Amino acid sequence: MSCTEKSFIDLSTDLIGPWAGYFVGWTYWLCWVTIGIADLSAIIYYLEFFNGGESFTPMGGLLISTVAILFVLGLNLVTVKLFGEMEFWFAMVKITAIIVLIVVGLWMIFTGFTSTSGTVASVSNLWTHGGMFPKGLDGFLAGFQIAIFAFVGVELVGTTAAETQDPKRNLPKAINSIPIRIIIFYVLALFVVMCVTPWDQINPKVSPFVNIFSQAGVASAAIIMNLVVLSSVMSSMNSGVFSTSRMLFGLSTDQQAPKLFGKLSKSAVPSKALVFSSICIFIGAFVQFIYKVQTGTNDEVTAFTLATTLSTILFICVWIIIMWSYINYRKNRPELHAQSTFKLPGGVFTCWVVILFFLATIYFLALDETTLESLKVSPIWFVILAIGYIFYKKKN
């Protein structure tokens, strides 16, 4: 591999073939578009708090989506520096909120805090309300969709760390820190939430953050924490729009997308790619609007599940290609692997285990009626990609 190959798109092109790079590049772009659509559902959902807990009409939801898209588009069109500043403060708010949540939750557990409903905060709440798997195996398997979705973006660790000045030091450090961060910000946070409020008493209409701080007697906790989770979702959408535009810019540079997406504005941002990605996210919001009108429902949770499931399926496909690339790398470039100073023990075996796990997850998605809907429509994208690649191959 050449020294210019930094992303998993470059690696898949080199180790599998041009079709793999084309597939991964465009699919990864759509991954972040679907995340943007899911974020819009989450924004509408959290804003319902300020609407007296009432759901917005389909038109109201569409208007909120439009404003959110225009706001994020405006941030990204100005300058890359502004994007970085916004993400820094968004991240600070999220991290601070989670740490405070964990501290307050642990205090409630150790002091045996009793809620207004009479529930005592205790570790035993994890197994005294129907056992560890109260919904049985089906309930456990259904949780894989959102659990895997929580890991989207983890593939960027390798790409960004490899572009630093000292990748041999930064890459191992970045990868080894992932399990620690997962334990703190995911596992420990969920542990605290379920110890304070048993799973069967959690109100899906109320954020667990809001619930814990409200029970702790923090003044204006509901308003503050809803603003916090809103900032978190806006951060996710902001990152998604940024990623999609850069992905289109890269595809255009590699002649896999129209040339206009490879042009930079005076602010040195790929403005045309930004606008196109934002339009695609808006189309997704409009499809959700049509779906709500036709079904007569304003359920943002269902809309969020449909979008995140589609994103999960697409990310699984991208991750499988990354695993495949590594397997070919070990097979065809043993001399490079021998020179590596940061080897994964049992790398090839681990890749096959991960691939089988992903295939099993896709099967799990077929077991639930809601996630099955997204699974049914996902092949449409692959057909579009195949047709696009045929034209791309003829042209190049």
Instruction: Return the residue matching tokens 């009108």.
Output: 293
Does residue 282 lie in a domain region? yes
CA distance 330 to 15: 10
Tell me: pLDDT of 161 over 60. no
CA distance 217 to 149: 33
Per 3-state DSSP, the chain is made up of helix, strand and coil in percentages (nearest 5) of 75, 0, 20
Does residue 346 lie in a domain region? yes
Does residue 97 lie in a domain region? yes
If one counts every other C-beta atom within 10 angstroms of the C-beta of residue 78, the result is: 12
Residue 394, both tokens: 């003829």
User: pLDDT tier at 219 (50, 70, 90 boundaries)?
Assistant: low
Instruction: Return the residue matching tokens 């047709």.
Output: 387
Mean pLDDT of 83-99: 79
Does residue 179 lie in a domain region? yes
Angstrom CA distances, 46 to 86, 189, 205, 281, 308, stand at 20, 19, 9, 19, 17
User: pLDDT tier at 106 (50, 70, 90 boundaries)?
Assistant: very high
| Spatial contact of 11 and 241, defined as CB atoms under 8 Å apart | no
Contacts 24+ apart (CB under 8 A), 118-125: 119/197, 119/198, 119/201, 121/195, 121/196, 122/195, 123/195, 125/194, 125/195, 125/196, 125/197, 125/198
- Residue 383's identity, in one-letter code, is V
* Count of the separate structural domains present in the chain: 1
Give the orientation angle of helix 221-253 with respect to helix 58-78, to 10 degrees: 60
DSSP 299: -
Q: The whole model's pTM is what?
A: 0.84
Mean pLDDT of 183-207: 84
Summary mean pLDDT of the chain: 84
At 297 the three-state DSSP class reads: coil
| Spatial contact of 145 and 365, defined as CB atoms under 8 Å apart | yes
Does residue 2 lie in a domain region? no
CA distance 56 to 300: 9
Pick the more confident residue, 131 or 23: 23
Q: What is the pLDDT of residues 70-84, one digit of tens each?
A: 998 988 887 766 667
How confident is the model at residue 206, as a pLDDT? Answer: 73
| Spatial contact of 71 and 241, defined as CB atoms under 8 Å apart | no
How confident is the model at residue 83, as a pLDDT? Answer: 67
| Spatial contact of 66 and 74, defined as CB atoms under 8 Å apart | no
| Spatial contact of 335 and 274, defined as CB atoms under 8 Å apart | no
Does residue 61 lie in a domain region? yes
| Spatial contact of 164 and 78, defined as CB atoms under 8 Å apart | no
Q: What is the pLDDT of residues 343-391, one digit of tens each?
A: 878 888 999 999 999 999 999 888 888 888 889 989 999 999 999 888 8
User: pLDDT tier at 119 (50, 70, 90 boundaries)?
Assistant: confident
CA distance 280 to 276: 6
Q: What is the pLDDT of residues 245-256, one digit of tens each?
A: 888 888 888 888
Tell me: pLDDT of 2 over 50. no
CA distance 237 to 65: 11
Does residue 301 lie in a domain region? yes
Q: What is the pLDDT of residues 256-312, one digit of tens each?
A: 888 888 888 887 788 899 999 999 999 999 988 888 888 777 777 778 888 888 999
Does residue 338 lie in a domain region? yes
Q: Judging by beta carbons within 10 Å of its beta carbon (0-12, 13-18, 19+), is residue 44 exposed, middle or buried?
A: buried
User: pLDDT tier at 208 (50, 70, 90 boundaries)?
Assistant: confident
In this predicted structure, which of 79-83, 126-130, 185-189, 377-381 has the lowest mean pLDDT?
Answer: 79-83
> What CATH number is attached to the domain comprising 94?
1.20.1740.10
Residue 360, both tokens: 């099993």
| Spatial contact of 348 and 327, defined as CB atoms under 8 Å apart | yes
140 lies in which domain range?
8-395
How confident is the model at residue 343, as a pLDDT? Answer: 80
Contacts 24+ apart (CB under 8 A), 52-56: 53/205, 55/298, 55/299, 55/300, 56/298
User: pLDDT tier at 4 (50, 70, 90 boundaries)?
Assistant: very low
Tell me: pLDDT of 91 over 90. no
